[in-house]
A and B are shown apart, each in its own frame.
Chain A
Amino acid sequence: MLSDLYIRFRSLFRRTKVDEELDDELRFHLERQTEKYLQAGMNPEQARRQARIEFGGLPQVQEECRQARGLTFLETLARDLQFGLRMLRKSPGFTIVVVLTLALGIGANTAIFTLVNAVMLRLLPVRDPQQLVVAEWSARNRPHHLWTSSFGDCQDYEGMRSDCSLSYSMFQQIRDQKNLFANAMAFAGPAQLDLSGNGAATIAQGELVSGSYFETLGVMPAIGRTLDSGDEKPGAEPVAVLDYGYWQREFGGSPNVIGRTVRLNNTAFTIVGVADSRFTRLTPGKSVDLWVPLTQGTQLGQEWTQINTSNFGADTNRWWLVVVGRLQSGISRKQAQAAVNAIFLNDALHGTTPVWTAGDDPHLWLLPAQQGLSGIRYQYGKPLMLLLAAVGIVLLIACANVAGLMLARSAAREREMAVRLAMGAGRRRVIRQLLTESLLLSLLGAALGALLAYAGATGLAAFFSSNSYSPLRLDLEPNWRVLLFAVGVAVLTGIGFGLAPALRGARANVAMDLKGSTTTVGHGARERFGLGKWLVVMQVALSMVVLAGAGLLLRTLNKLHSIDPGFDTHNILLFSIDPELAGYNKRQISDLYATLQRRLDALPGVVDTSYSSDALLDGGLWTEDVRVEGQAHKNTVESQMLSVGPEYFETMKIPLMDGRFLGKSDMRGTQLAAVVNRQFVRRFTGGRNPIGLHFGGTDAKDPQWQIIGVVGDTKYATLQKADAPTAYVPLTAGGATFELRTAFSPVGLMPAVRNVVHEVDNNIPVIRMRTQSDAIDRLLFNERLVARLFGMFGALGLILACIGLYGLLSFDVSRRTREIGVRTALGAQRRDVLLLVLRQGFVLVVVGVTLGAAVAMVVTRLLGSLLYDVRPTDPFTFAITAVLLIAIGLIACSLPAGRATRVDPMTALRCE
């Protein structure tokens, strides 16, 4: 068997070498034979002649030897390909339509798969990623007496409270388990850092990491060095390591950056190295520009990174680090997990300030880092899977469409096939030839599709990124998995659409087809039309499924947009600033905000200006556990919180219900004044007059606010969530988002607003200037993404289905020319002929729509989590989609039907 393969391959690739050897061998034989005759006494001429005669024809022998060596398979393939290409060139119209259809189908699939690959499948680009584990805690209830922050590295399980932020002291304890972990590191961020010293000040995404970060991951420097444990020591010189891509973009890839100083939030940092170009990410989607030791956090004004180096115990209740460890060889994840869980429980349940009780059932898990660091996978995983399903349906439609075309073509090639069979070609040989042709088509389609896929995936990634709160990085480089996917899809497609026509081609009836009866409606023709019909029905049905999905999502978007958010979302311009990064203190900040408010208010076109810690419906949410005066002593309730500047409610047009709004005097007042919404009053004040009531945290040090007014309810985090109790308190410190109510569309005001900020202080970068509508669109990103792409895929499917329908009916009309001619001759009116064809198409479309609706009823429930106030089987949507599909289908039918009415009976009858 092996020698067989070896010889076949040798013959293929070393053709000339093998032929030469054969020549040598045969020549040797002839020479020996000639010598023999010479010795027997013949003269040289005679001897040579005699040897030749005895040997037989040399070229025949050579050819027989070649065949004996078994060149057939590959040579046949080469011949089939050659022939296939010639056939495709002969009908360029057919080829172009098929290749384009397949390119769209395969390209769209590959594009979506590229994103799926980037978000879901790609391995961590570090050394031996399977050895890395990430610590994640979970419990039945939220932890108490705890300050946590997280940057979306881990997914948040519904119901169970969980996260992967841990305290610095916990990180130390994990790192010290040398028998379990070869190494461990911790990181937090990225923090937005104001970088100056390299051209104009820009915002850089800086990740705060332990000194062991790169060593644990096994990431080497591209140039310079990475961080080490010395950099983490208190008092170490501030250093930074650049991301390779950032270095290329912002520093032109210059090796001179090593040793250069840049200012990050006004502190000088020395660049000591650039990380390996292959290290593109740790958490999927998260973009990091540079890494700094986490002990430099406070230098960067990130107070939350404060580490109490003299007493780690005091740090146990501030959880902000993601901890990743590399397991010692021979230690299983479960073993290590048992050990660290014990340490964790000891701290969490029996530490100085326990954060849970045993009843909360807390756990610390060690998850494989590949799976645990999910990042955007949690947010985008589901929509991507839905898109993959939708785009797979489009591919099926394309397949059915091409199969229909192939079928029509195989009818035209019936005679060719009959000739082949009559001349002794085996049926398997004919099938093989036809399959080679369809594979050739699908591979051509895949090649073109790959280009489309790259453009499509890049475009989609840009759409993702423009709708993300922080820059998003997706690794779209095609890798082996994407290539395998594209080629696999192409081969499956080729077989999928090629098999039925090929089998049929090989079944050609030699006698009948050679006699040349192609215009009559023979038995074979009726059968073929049957398969063609089903292919069209399938296309219509699949289009119906995708379009119904698109319809449901559009209706959802419609409903979401008609929700009353409780404030006027039109004509609001938002932008954020963080003066703390530029070194402002609390006092300076409130002066700055007052100045900005006054200056911005004076801009022509601006009606009102205010500011708040976050904007409503902008992706942020702050909640607090508070106790409201008059409630049982230990009872706390969860309230949404927002700190706001003066004139906030006037700017947002949130109506006053009782008491008064927060004014300028409340901003610095010794009395902490607050405004609450109606939900707060309804749920928490127990029917008492809310004005004058106090509420606040349970700790003695926590501020206690006094309610001075009640306002209308508004949406806060999302449009979908029901209105929840909210308290508005004066903004006194920290960064802010400014809200500008404008008289007309606010987009034109953006440069003027930017100018004002620069005039006031050009060291303050403006972060994310956007309109309130943009912010809301961003919240609805998943719904919009899936709706938009489902719509596109549905339209694509519908177009393909219409082409299929049109092709089928045209083919049928041309086949039935004679029949139509006879009907007309016997007195059929134009209308009758028109209806004859239309009825046929109508039946196909209606059957398709009905089947499609039935399938859609079952599968649209997969969209459930994206739908709002629309049932997955919403009859209204289904009805509209069905009517639309039938109407468009009839338009596609009307062209061949029109042609049928123009059949001239005389011509039709004469042509037999």
Chain B
Amino acid sequence: MSVNRIDLPQGTLDLLILRILALGPQHGWAISERVQQMSSEVLRIQQGSLYPGLHRLERRGWIKAHWGASDNNRRAKYYELTKSGFKQLEAEKDAWEKLTAAVGQVLRAV
């Protein structure tokens, strides 16, 4: 287990979930695994907080869910992006990039 993990800043969980689901439908556990993999094990999702996030996004209509068989043939709830989810992902990506660029600029300036 790596030592240098950081907790997720507020509000970025939604963005990460949307980004992962943009690759294809996935169930909750796989999403949390994927976040860790893709961030080279740096980002850690508090696993419990993933699910309220998923349900919130579902209610907003950005993702939708269906029950399907998992790779080891068990019943699992799969989430996938909806059309408005893709749009939301683009918007949040833009906002995030602007934010990090601006914060970086400030930090470098000092």
Q: How far is the CA of A2 from the CA of B47 in the complex (A)?
A: 29
Whether B29 and A1, one on each chain, are in contact in the complex, defined by CB atoms closer than 8 angstroms, is no
Q: B62 — nearest CB in chain A belongs to which residue?
A: A3
Contacts of A2 in B (CB 8 A): 61
Q: Which candidate, A24-32, A197-205, A499-507, A649-657, is the interface stretch facing chain B?
A: A24-32
Q: Is A671 an interface residue (CB 8 A)?
A: no
> Is A65 among interface residues, defined by CB-CB distance under 8 A?
yes
Q: Is the CB of A68 within 8 A of B59?
A: yes
B48–A68 contact, CB under 8 A?
Answer: no
Q: Which of A501-553 contact B (CB under 8 A)?
A: none
Given contacts A4-B61, A7-B58, contact A65 B76 (CB under 8 A): no
How many A residues touch the partner, as a band?
Answer: 20 to 34
User: B75 on the interface (CB 8 Å rule)?
Assistant: yes
Q: Is the interface of B mostly helix, strand, loop or mixed?
A: helix
Distance in Å: Cβ of B33 to nearest Cβ of chain A: 8
Residue among A3, A4, A54 facing the most chain B CB atoms (10 A cut-off): A3
Which residues of chain A are near B64, meaning CB under 8 Å?
3
Q: Once bound together, how far apart are the Cα atoms of A60 and B52, in whole Å? A: 10
CB–CB A33/B48 < 8 A: no
Which residue of B47, B67, B75 is within 8 Å of A33 (Cβ)?
Answer: B47
Q: What CA separation (Å) do A7 and B67 show in the bound complex?
A: 16
Of residues 59 through 74 on chain B, the ones whose CB sits less than 8 Å from some CB of chain A are 59-61, 64, 67, 70, 74
Q: How far is the CB of B29 from chain A (nearest CB, A)?
A: 4
Say yes or no: A65-B47 contact (C-beta < 8 A), given A3-B64, A28-B74.
Answer: no
A64 cross-chain contacts in B, Cβ below 8 A: 48-49, 51-52
CA distance A61 to B46 in the complex (A): 11
Q: How far is the CA of A65 from the CA of B47 in the complex (A)?
A: 13
Q: Which residues of B contact A1 (CB under 8 A)?
A: 61
List, sorted by A's number, 13 A–B pairs whose CB atoms are closer than 8 Å. A1-B61, A7-B59, A21-B67, A25-B77, A28-B70, A28-B74, A32-B29, A33-B29, A61-B48, A64-B49, A64-B52, A65-B52, A68-B55
Cβ of A313 within 8 Å of any chain B Cβ, yes or no, is no
User: Which residues of A are in contact with B by a Cβ distance under 8 Å?
Assistant: 1-4, 7-8, 21-22, 24-26, 28-29, 31-33, 54-58, 60-61, 64-65, 67-70
Q: Is the CB of A25 within 8 A of B28?
A: yes
- How far does the Cβ of A55 sit from chain B's closest Cβ, in whole Å? 5
Question: Is B34 an interface position by the 8 A CB rule?
Answer: no
Complex: A595 Cα to B14 Cα, angstroms: 104
Q: Mark B74-93, 1 if CB is under 8 A from A, else 0.
A: 11110000000000000000
A26 B74 Cβ-Cβ under 8 A: no
Query: In the complex, what distance in Å separates the CA atom of A68 from the CA atom of B29?
Result: 19
Smallest beta-carbon distance B91→chain A, Å: 18
- With A3-B58, A29-B28, A69-B56 already in contact, 4 other A-B pairs whose C-beta atoms are closer than 8 Å: A2-B61, A28-B76, A54-B47, A67-B52
A32 to B53, CA, bound (A): 19
- Evaluate whether A65 and B27 lie within 8 angstroms (CB atoms) in the complex, with A28-B76, A28-B77, A29-B47 already known: no
**Shortest distance in angstroms between A66's beta carbon and chain B's nearest beta carbon?**
8
Residues of A within 8 A of B61 (CB): 1-4
Instruction: List, in ascending order, chain B residues with CB within 8 A of A7's CB.
Output: 58-59
Residues of A within 8 A of B28 (CB): 25, 28-29
Q: When chains A and B are docked, how far (Å) is the Cα of A31 from the Cα of B70?
A: 12
Indicate the member of B47, B53, B77 with the most A CB atoms within 10 Å. Answer: B47
Contact A65 B55, CB 8 Å, known A4-B61, A28-B29, A60-B48: yes
Give Cα A7 to B65, complex, Å: 11
For the complex of A and B, 4 pairs with smallest distance between CB atoms: A56-B48, A64-B52, A68-B56, A68-B55
- Which of A21, A24, A56 is the one whose CB lies under 8 Å from B47? A56
- C-alpha gap A8/B59 in the complex (Å): 8
Nearest CB on B from A511, distance (A): 34
How distant is the Cα of A32 from the Cα of B77 in the complex, in angstroms?
Answer: 13
CB of B49 within 8 A of CB of A56, answer: yes
Pick the contact of A55: B47, B53, B56 (CB < 8 A): B47
Tell me if A69 and B59 are in contact (CB < 8 A): yes
Known: A28-B70, A29-B28, A54-B47. A4 touches B59 (CB 8 A): yes
Residues of B within 8 A of A32 (CB): 29, 70
What's the nearest-Cβ distance from chain B to residue A35, in Å? Answer: 8
Q: Determine the chain B residues whose CB is within 8 A of the CB of A3 once the complex forms.
A: 58-61, 64
Which chain A residues border B58 with CB–CB below 8 Å?
A: 3, 7, 69
How many Å from the CB of A715 to the closest CB on chain B?
A: 77
Partner of A28, one of B27, B46, B55: B27
Please determine whether B29 and A21 come into contact, CB atoms closer than 8 angstroms. no
What residues of chain A lie closer than 8 Å to B55, measured between beta carbons?
Answer: 65, 68-69
Asked whether, in the complex, the Cβ of B77 is within 8 Å of the Cβ of A21, the reply is: yes
Looking across the interface, which residue of chain A has its beta carbon closest to that of B84? A3
From B29, B60, B74, give the contact of A4 (CB < 8 A): B60
Closest Cβ neighbor of A64 among chain B residues: B52
A56-B27 contact in complex given A68-B52, A68-B59, A70-B59, C-beta closer than 8 Å: no
Hey, which chain B residues are within 8 Å of A24, CB to CB? Answer: 75, 77
Please report the C-alpha to C-alpha distance between residue A904 and residue B35 in the assembled complex, in whole angstroms. 78
**Given contact pairs A21-B77, A24-B77, A28-B74, A61 touches B59 in the complex (Cβ within 8 A):** no
Contact A61 B77 (CB under 8 A): no
- Shortest Cβ distance from A11 into B: residue: B59
Contact string, B17-55, partner A, CB cutoff 8 A, digits 1/0? 000000000011100100000000000001111011101
- Report the Cα distance A58→B32, complex, angstroms: 17
* CB-nearest residue of chain B to A40: B1
Smallest CB separation, A815 vs chain B (Å): 49
| Chain B min CB distance to A421 (Å) | 28
Closest to B46 in A: A56
- CB-CB < 8 A to A58: which residues of B? 48
* Complex Cα gap A64–B52 (Å): 6
| Beta-carbon contact of A68 and B47 below 8 Å | no
Residue of B nearest to A63 (CB): B52
Q: How far is the CA of A907 from the CA of B82 in the complex (A)?
A: 73
Of the candidates A4, A26, A57, the one whose C-beta lies within 8 Å of that of B51 is A26
Please, how many angstroms separate the alpha-carbon atoms of A355 and B33 in the complex? Answer: 99
Asked if A65 contacts B59 (CB within 8 A), the reply is no
Give Cα A7–Cα B56 distance, bound, in whole angstroms. 11
Known A-B contacts A3-B64, A54-B47, A57-B48; A29 and B29 likewise in contact (beta carbons under 8 Å)? yes
Question: Taking A3-B59, A3-B61, A3-B64 as contacts, is the C-beta distance between A28 and B75 under 8 angstroms?
Answer: yes
Shortest Cβ distance from B1 into A: residue:
A40
Q: What's the nearest-Cβ distance from chain B to residue A810, in Å?
A: 51
Instruction: Determine the chain B residues whose CB is within 8 A of the CB of A21 once the complex forms.
Output: 67, 77
Closest-by-CB residue of A relative to B51 is: A65
Which residues of chain A come closer than 8 Å to B53, judged between CB atoms? Answer: 68
A56 (CB) vs chain B CBs: closest residue: B48
Shortest Cβ distance from B7 into chain A, in angstroms? 13
Instruction: List the B residue with the shortest CB-CB distance to A66.
Output: B55
Q: Complex formed: what's the CA distance from A562 to B42 in Å?
A: 104
- Within 8 Å CB of A8, what residues of B? 59
Residues in chain B near residue A31, CB distance under 8 A:
74
Q: Which residues of A contact B70 (CB under 8 A)?
A: 28, 32
Report which residue of A2, A29, A33 has the largest number of chain B beta carbons within 10 angstroms of its beta carbon. Answer: A29
User: Which residues of A sit under 8 angstroms from B48, Cβ to Cβ?
Assistant: 55-58, 60-61, 64
The CA-CA distance from A4 to B64 in the complex, in Å, is: 11
A32 to B74, CA, bound (A): 10
Contacts of B60 in A (CB 8 A): 3-4
Q: What residue in chain B is nearest A69 (Cβ atoms)?
A: B55
A21 to B27, CA, bound (A): 13
Complex Cα spacing A70 to B46, Å: 22
Q: Of residues B51, B74, B77, which shows the largest number of chain A Cβ atoms within 10 Å of its Cβ?
A: B51
**CA of A60 to CA of B51 in the docked complex: distance in angstroms?**
11
A60 to B49, CA, bound (A): 10
Given the complex of chains A and B, what is the CA–CA distance between A57 and B46 in angstroms?
11
B2 to chain A, nearest CB (A): 14
Report Cα–Cα, A70/B56, bound state, in Å. Answer: 8
Beta-carbon nearest neighbor of A28 in chain B:
B76
Residue of B52, B53, B58, B74 most packed against chain A (CB within 10 A): B52
Q: How far is the CB of A390 from chain B (nearest CB, A)?
A: 50
B59 neighbours in A (Cβ, 8 Å): 3-4, 7-8, 68-70
